[in-house]
């Protein structure tokens, strides 16, 4: 019985979410109106794609290496590191989005502290906000800086600890 309920719930979600000719699109709310976790969902997708694309400048053949470094770069501790370093250059509106993201109640990942997880959610919410605002210049400015900060953080870690 429980499986049927889950499937019917899935069907309902599919009917609500998938576009159809009979159902017009709902107007999209402004980025400021969206919940922080929705902004973080979009920001996470953007940052993952950005990191994967950037890593292609350094490696084009070994997918496992791309995956390993990509996963490390988009991890909560690395995103938290980037956000902490960028906090002084954020506008008031951006800082408010970060604060909303950090204060959102969600379950931290197993491999990160609660603090790092909250900061990474704030970081992703900021990227999602800028993406949905279509502020490409600011989005790429902060993303490029974050990529450099995270790269330096990984290099420093390996120089200090090796493969640990």
**Any idea which residues carry the catalytic annotation?**
44
What stretches of 18-113 show up as alpha helix (H) in DSSP?
A: 36-55, 63-73, 76-86, 92-103
CA distance 44 to 138: 16
CA distance 126 to 11: 32
Burial class from Cβ neighbours inside 10 Å (0-12, 13-18, 19+) for residue 91 reads: exposed
Cα angle 97-102-104, degrees, rounded to a multiple of 5: 95
């Amino acid at each position: 019985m429980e499986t049927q309920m889950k499937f019917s719930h899935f069907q309902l979600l599919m009917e609500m979410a998938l576009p159809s000719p009979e159902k017009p699109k709902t107007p999209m709310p402004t980025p400021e109106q969206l919940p922080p976790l929705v902004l973080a969902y979009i920001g996470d997708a953007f940052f993952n794609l950005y990191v994967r694309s950037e890593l292609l400048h350094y490696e084009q053949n070994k997918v496992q290496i791309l995956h390993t470094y990509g996963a490390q770069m988009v991890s909560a501790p690395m995103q938290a590191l980037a956000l902490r370093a960028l906090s002084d250059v954020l506008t008031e509106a951006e800082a408010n989005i970060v604060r909303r993201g950090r204060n959102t109640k969600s379950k931290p990942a197993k491999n990160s502290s609660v603090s790092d997880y909250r900061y990474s959610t704030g970081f992703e919410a900021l990227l999602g906000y800028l993406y949905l605002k279509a502020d490409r210049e600011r989005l790429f400015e902060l993303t490029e800086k974050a990529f450099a900060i995270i790269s330096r953080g990984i290099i420093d870690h390996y120089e200090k600890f090796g493969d640990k």
